[in-house]
Amino acid sequence: MARRFGEIAFTPEVQAAQEKRGSRQTYDRYIASGPTNNTITPKLAELIGQLDGFYLGTVSSNGYPYIQFRGGPPGFLQVLDEKTLGFADFSGNAQYITIGNLSGNDKAFLFLMDYRHRKRIKIWGRAEWVENDAEIIDRLRVPDYPANIERAILFHVEAISENCPQHIPIRYSETEVETMIAPLQARIAELEAQLKEISV
């Protein structure tokens, strides 16, 4: 449990709910003695480098949350330093809800899922969008990925929490499945060739 996470997530209303249901004392101890967990560790950076997608949450001016899936090749979400993540914002449906929300409220949330290893990472912070900055955009550009980049989005980390794997289903991407079955396909081809030689 991360102390900084508790400071952000455990609002008075949340604390009241915990108190009523008997978990407040436990979380008080975690907040008092737990690590700060407000920087990107090498282990987390390694996980981030393998992701091909994540969920980005922002808040609209009318108070409603907005969550959007962002996808790209593995590594498109980049660690710029221990407190900053960044990614290229590719052309989409031109609704611009995320950047509109960030223009009024820079509080944001990243939800990272690794179904293969049953891991989920929650990251609180503040985000900003950057246009007309060739240096930042080039730094976040993904080689050989054909999508048009409209801007960069930088995410400044304030708190990180990793959940337990309970209730997370194991799922594999198409690429992961192809990698897993490649030896089997090679063996099948080998056996078929042997059968062909025997039958001749």
> What digits encode the pLDDT tens for the residues 154-193?
999 999 998 778 888 888 888 889 999 999 999 999 999 9
- How many Å apart are CA 171 and CA 152, to the nearest integer? 30
Amino acid code (one letter) for 38: N
Backbone angles phi, psi at 37, to 5 degrees: 50, 60
- How many Å apart are CA 35 and CA 4, to the nearest integer? 8
Beta carbons of 69 and 87 less than 8 angstroms apart: no
% of the chain exceeding 90 in pLDDT: 64
Beta carbons of 44 and 31 less than 8 angstroms apart: no
- How many Å apart are CA 78 and CA 197, to the nearest integer? 51
Could you state, in order of their start, the residue ranges of all structural domains in the chain? 1-37, 38-169, 172-200
Which segments within 72-182 are labelled E, that is strand?
Answer: 78-81, 84-90, 107-114, 119-130, 149-162
Beta bridge partners of 162: 121
Which segments within 32-91 are labelled E, that is strand?
Answer: 53-59, 65-71, 78-81, 84-90
**CA angle (41, 44, 49) in 5-degree steps:** 125
Three-class secondary structure of residue 169 per DSSP: coil
> 38-169 belongs to which homologous superfamily?
Electron Transport, Fmn-binding Protein; Chain A (2.30.110.10)
pLDDT in tens, 1-18: 458 888 898 999 999 999
Single pTM value for the model: 0.85
Per-residue pLDDT at 155: 98
Under DSSP, the state recorded for 63 is S
Residue 200's pLDDT band, with cuts at 50, 70 and 90, is: low
